[in-house]
Amino acid sequence: MNAIECYQLSRRFQTITAVDNLDLVVPAGTIFGFLGPNGAGKTTTVRMLCALIAPSSGSARVAGFDVQTEADSVRANTGILTETPALYDTLSALENLTFFARLYGLSATQASERAAHYLRLFELWERRNDPVGGFSKGMRQKLAIARALLHDPAVLFLDEPTSGLDPAASRSVRDVIKSLRASGRTIFLTTHNLAEADELCDLIGVFRTRLISLDTPANLRTRLFGRSVRVVLAGPAAPLAPLVQQLSFVMNVTVDDERTLLVQLTDPEKDNPVLVRALVAAGADVCYIEPFTPSLEAVYLELIQEPVAG
Ligand SMILES: Nc1ncnc2c1ncn2[C@@H]1O[C@H](COP(=O)(O)OP(=O)(O)OP(=O)(O)O)[C@@H](O)[C@H]1O
């Protein structure tokens, strides 16, 4: 089953087109990473998918419901963590959660059960009676995610969930996100943290008003950079680059540093021995050769450089 399906989804604000003909399918139980520069239209997309604003054209189904004709059901089945979640500072963690659970329509018993469940899950139980005003940013963020989960939504939208958190708090929030996927939820994660997207996401959409690319992190790398190896030599690398470039299976060569070549090729298992033989025949001493995995950041920067297809 698909958690999210968009068909030609668009939103215009006066003269600005914020989202242009978005076609997107996100399978249930996955973490989808939505990446794009500032002003790309990510928040606008999330607001349409949560049935908070109407599309100008096109359609979308979230958790099986149409965002326009079944907006109440969409809202009942989605949770959203906004970039700056508001919590009541003078209320305790438990009071905050039970208050919001009642707003979602849960009975008093259900509200306290659900609040206790998430406070334990997110390791906030010991601090349940403390006013939230004294909580660290990481604790507040976990509490805000808990709040978004109180009505047990199938699809959770998280906007920059680890922004401004220290490494330990970020790790703890990422673990929470993984545990939510393990429980079968679908997570729509908007982030500028590419290492985080790489670690968490099953599927990544790179977006700038239009969807530029949609694939798994591994496929995005291979599609853009092919399969690459780093060749570390005992002597200078630059003089050998032209020779390597001439090999029929080599797609591209760059000099990574004084003694290192980055070689993009089609089939490392088959091509590496030929590459090494050619280098040795040219008098080079090969110290070692290893697979090279470009960072998702390199992939992302390459993708958003490309002009948006007409
Ligand atoms: N209510 C609105 N009225 C007019 N223009 C809007 C409105 N909401 C968004 N926009 C415009 O739509 C475009 C996309 O904005 P949006 O907030 O969706 O981008 P974003 O990708 O979420 O950006 P960021 O990463 O900075 O949060 C921007 O040009 C923005 O100014």
pLDDT digits (tens, 9 = 90+) for 14-54: 999 999 999 999 999 999 999 999 999 999 999 999 999 99
Band the pLDDT of 309: cuts 50, 70, 90.
very low
**pLDDT tens across 76-133, in order?**
999 999 887 789 999 999 999 999 999 988 999 999 999 999 999 888 999 999 999 9
Nearest to 135 by CA among 162, 102, 109, 169: 169
Contact of 285 with 276, CB cutoff 8 Å: no
Ligand 1 centroid – CA 138 distance (Å): 26
Ligand 1 centroid – CA 23 distance (Å): 19
- Nearest ligand 1 atom to the CA of 19 is 14
**pLDDT tens across 239-286, in order?**
999 999 999 999 889 998 999 999 999 888 899 999 999 999 999 999
What's the pTM? Answer: 0.84
- Cα four-point dihedral sign 163, 131, 124, 154: negative
Ligand 1 centroid – CA 219 distance (Å): 29
Report the residue among 19, 20, 35, 42 best suited for mutation to probe ligand 1: largest number of ligand atoms under 8 A from its CB.
42
pLDDT of residue 307: 57
How many residues are present in the chain? Answer: 310
Query: Helix, strand, or coil here: 108?
Result: helix
Cα separation, 221 vs 142, in Å, equals 32
Contact of 151 with 106, CB cutoff 8 Å: yes
Q: Which residues line ligand 1 (CB under 6 A)?
A: 13, 16, 18, 36, 38-44
- Nearest ligand 1 atom to the CA of 207 is 21
Q: How far is CA 44 from the centre of its chain?
A: 17
pLDDT of residue 173: 86
- Range of lowest pLDDT (56-70, 149-163, 256-270, 288-302): 288-302
- Nearest ligand 1 atom to the CA of 41 is 18
Domains in the chain, start-ordered, CATH in brackets?
A: 1-214 (3.40.50.300), 225-293 (3.30.70.100)
Ligand 1 centroid – CA 212 distance (Å): 18
pLDDT of residue 229: 93
167: left (phi over 0), alpha (psi -120 to 50) or beta: alpha
- Residue 299 CB-density burial (10 A; 0-12 exposed, 13-18 middle, 19+ buried): buried
- Nearest ligand 1 atom to the CA of 14 is 4
Q: What's the whole-number average pLDDT of the chain?
A: 92
pLDDT of residue 310: 41
Ligand 1 centroid – CA 74 distance (Å): 22
